């Protein structure tokens, strides 16, 4: 069997696997956009280039298209591309969400770059120093409060003792008054 015929059959099998049907011949005698047509056009282009009738750039484009059809890993590549397309389609809501977030970030960029926000690190050191000072004042206030409580307890104890002593003196005064003779109208 002729090598060109073998190649044509192989290309037709590949086209059948991918669902590419050869188009009907056009008015100029060439078939549509099938691999066989590309192969024939590439062969004609190479012949015309060698004869000096055609430019090499167009032939190179046709050769790269033909090379894609002739790749033995073409089916795997198409399947991988289909998987990638499915992944992208499945991730479309997430991609939209990320795009919206990026858009919001772009809108917020002037605010984030504003002078007050740029000074936050310096302000944070001042806030840290103030928190340290507040903690020291709280410690001192706790010490003073504890001292006041001790003083209040001491004063309370002293007041209780003084009250007891005054009560004892009052009791003695009462005893002494009972022992003294009673005066009558102040004339006795």
pLDDT tens by residue, 107-147: 888 888 888 888 888 888 899 999 999 999 999 999 999 99
- Residue 6, CA distances (Å) to 1, 9, 113, 144 in order: 7, 5, 68, 104
> Would you give the end-to-end CA distance of the chain in angstroms?
169
Residue 100 inside a domain? The answer is no
Domain around 64: 3-90
Range of lowest pLDDT (49-58, 80-89, 145-154)? 49-58
Most confident residue range from 19-23, 75-79, 84-88, 141-145: 141-145
Does residue 119 fall inside a structural domain? no
Domain assignment present for 95: no
Residues 10 and 85 in one domain: yes
Same domain for 7 and 62? yes
pLDDT on residue 50: 72
Q: Out of 65, 90, 115, pick the residue that ends a domain.
A: 90
**Count of structural domains within the chain:** 2
- Among 24-33, 70-79, 137-146, the range with the most confident prediction by mean pLDDT is 137-146
Q: Is residue 152's pLDDT more than 70?
A: yes
Look at residue 145 and tell me if it is in a domain. Answer: yes
Distance CA 80, CA 132 (A): 61
Whether residues 79 and 154 share a domain: the answer is: no
Q: Quick check: 84 pLDDT over 80?
A: yes
Check if the beta carbon of residue 35 is closer than 8 Å to that of residue 14.
yes
Q: Distance between CA atoms of 185 and 163, rounded to whole angstroms?
A: 34
Residues 7 and 84 both lie in one domain: yes
Distance separating alpha carbons of residues 138 and 132, to the nearest angstrom: 10
The model's pTM is: 0.31
Confidence band of 21 (pLDDT split at 50, 70, 90): low
Instruction: Report the alpha-carbon distance of residue 136 to residue 126 in Å, rounded.
Output: 15
Above 90 in pLDDT, residue 157?
yes
| Domain's final residue, options 55, 90, 125 | 90
């Amino acid at each position: 069997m002729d090598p060109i015929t073998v190649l044509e059959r192989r290309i037709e099998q590949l086209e059948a696997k991918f669902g590419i049907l050869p188009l009907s011949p056009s008015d100029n005698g060439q078939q549509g956009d099938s691999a066989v047509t590309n192969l024939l056009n590439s062969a004609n282009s190479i012949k015309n280039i060698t004869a000096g009738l055609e430019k090499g750039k167009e032939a190179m484009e046709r050769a790269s298209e033909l090379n894609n059809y002739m790749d033995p890993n073409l089916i795997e590549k198409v399947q991988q591309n289909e998987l990638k397309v499915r992944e992208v389609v499945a991730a479309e809501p997430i991609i939209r969400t990320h795009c919206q977030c990026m858009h919001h970030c772009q809108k917020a960029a002037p605010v984030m770059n504003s002078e007050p926000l740029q000074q936050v690190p310096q302000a944070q050191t001042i806030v840290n120093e103030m928190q340290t000072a507040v903690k020291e004042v709280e410690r001192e206030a706790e010490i003073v409060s504890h001292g006041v409580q001790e003083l209040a307890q001491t004063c309370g104890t002293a007041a209780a003792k003084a009250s007891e002593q005054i009560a004892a003196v009052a009791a003695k005064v009462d005893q002494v008054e009972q022992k003294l003779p009673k005066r009558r109208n102040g004339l006795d």
